[in-house]
Amino acid sequence: MASNVLVFAERRDGQVKRPVLETLNTARGLADADGGQVVALALGPGAGDCAAELARFGADRVLTVENPALELYAAQAYAACLAQAAKECDAGLVLVPGTLLGRDLAARAAARLETACASDLISIEFDEANGLRGKRPIYSGQAIAGVAIPTARPAVATLRPNVFAAGDGAEREAAVEPLAIEVGDDLLRVRTTEVRGSEKQDVDVAEAGIVVAGGRGLKEAEHFSLIRDLAGALGGAVGASRAVVDAGWIPHAHQVGQTGKVVSPGLYIACGISGAIQHLAGMSSSKLIVAINKDPEAPIFKVADYGIVGDLFEVVPALTEAVRKAKA
């Protein structure tokens, strides 16, 4: 018997987030292999406006709840909607992008559905006969664990951003259907009332394809301009180690590591970062790692694909200039 795959379509300021496209493309492959449909769930005012984009990346149907109370994240209400959608479309598998919001939502929805949840997957297989099988990093990225949900249905899982391909999309149409659910005060006891961004809207480090991160080796906050210049030249995001965030050099939103954000960009450049295990936990799954450090014994070199032993105050500006010349 074929299983349908339900994908939660997280949006920000009305725009579908890139990890959703990666999740949809993955769901499309799983559904095609098992003969099922891909159903997307979008919440909040204007939810139906993203149907064409969701269809292009894999959705056959788009369920919507255009309640104004769902414009910003409301944990209980979102979980109730996702659980109801899973029942409505007879989903065998529910996939949620592994963003900060997605990780919270997936666990809550799984609890409502009284089923199992596999988090932070970097590979996934699914069919009705064998259930969900996948892999996820453990021990701060030092090992990979196999996980399985063989019988519980629907199986719920979150996918690590920037690991799965989004693809280029394809011509496809999706039916838009309102989801019949009452969002009452009982589901809105905890809700987001306001989202404040930084004065300068930086690229989200958790979703960027390129991350340039700085650590204690920068010596002072003002020197983060070197990191921003290189990130800007490459079109990437600015990351940071916990030490410099704790020192107040840069906001916590840029922190990469066990107590910060987990990133999996195509390119990660670590500048003046020693490579403590807590930091490695947040970036070791990056596809290509470049380390710049004057200490040849720094632990970061053990995980780096390329290492530059040198003074970052000389190397980083030279690299930035080389990138700008190459692009020109």
Per-residue pLDDT of 130-148, as tens digits, reads 899 999 988 877 789 999 9
Does the pLDDT value for residue 225 go beyond 80?
yes
Q: What is the pLDDT of residue 93?
A: 97
Q: What structural domains does the chain harbor?
A: 4-187 (3.40.50.620), 210-327 (3.40.50.1220)
Cβ contacts of 28 within 8 Å, gap of 6 or more: 38, 57, 58
Q: What is the pLDDT of residue 236?
A: 95
Average pLDDT, the chain: 93
Q: What is the pLDDT of residue 195?
A: 83
Report phi then psi at 21, rounded to 5: -65, -40
Reported confidence tier of residue 200, pLDDT bands at 50, 70, 90 = low
Which whole-number Å values give the CA distances from 151 to 93, 96, 111, 128, 129, in the listed order?
A: 11, 19, 16, 9, 9
Q: Please, is 125 exposed, middle or buried when counting C-beta atoms within 10 Å of its C-beta (0-12, 13-18, 19+)?
A: middle
| 77/316 Cα distance (integer angstroms) | 47
Percent of the chain predicted with pLDDT > 90:
79
Q: What is the pLDDT of residue 1?
A: 58
Reported confidence tier of residue 199, pLDDT bands at 50, 70, 90 = low
Give me the mean pLDDT over the 151-177 stretch: 90
pLDDT in tens, 261-285: 888 899 999 999 999 988 998 898 8
Contact between residue 140 and residue 258 where contact means Cβ atoms under 8 Å apart: yes
DSSP state string for 131-180? EEEEEEEETTTTEEEEEEESS-SSEEEEE-TTTS----------EEEE--
Question: Between 198 and 251, where is the model more confident?
Answer: 251
Does the pLDDT value for residue 172 go beyond 90?
no
Beta bridge partners of 6: 39, 94
Reported confidence tier of residue 120, pLDDT bands at 50, 70, 90 = very high
Q: Amino acid letter at 174?
A: A
Which of 23-32, 53-62, 280-289, 294-303 has the lowest average pLDDT? Answer: 280-289
Does the pLDDT value for residue 65 go beyond 60?
yes
Does the pLDDT value for residue 44 go beyond 60?
yes
Does the pLDDT value for residue 224 go beyond 80?
yes
End-to-end CA distance of the chain: 55
pTM over 0.85: no
Q: What is the pLDDT of residue 243?
A: 94
| 232/213 Cα distance (integer angstroms) | 12
pLDDT in tens, 300-326: 999 999 999 999 999 999 999 999 999
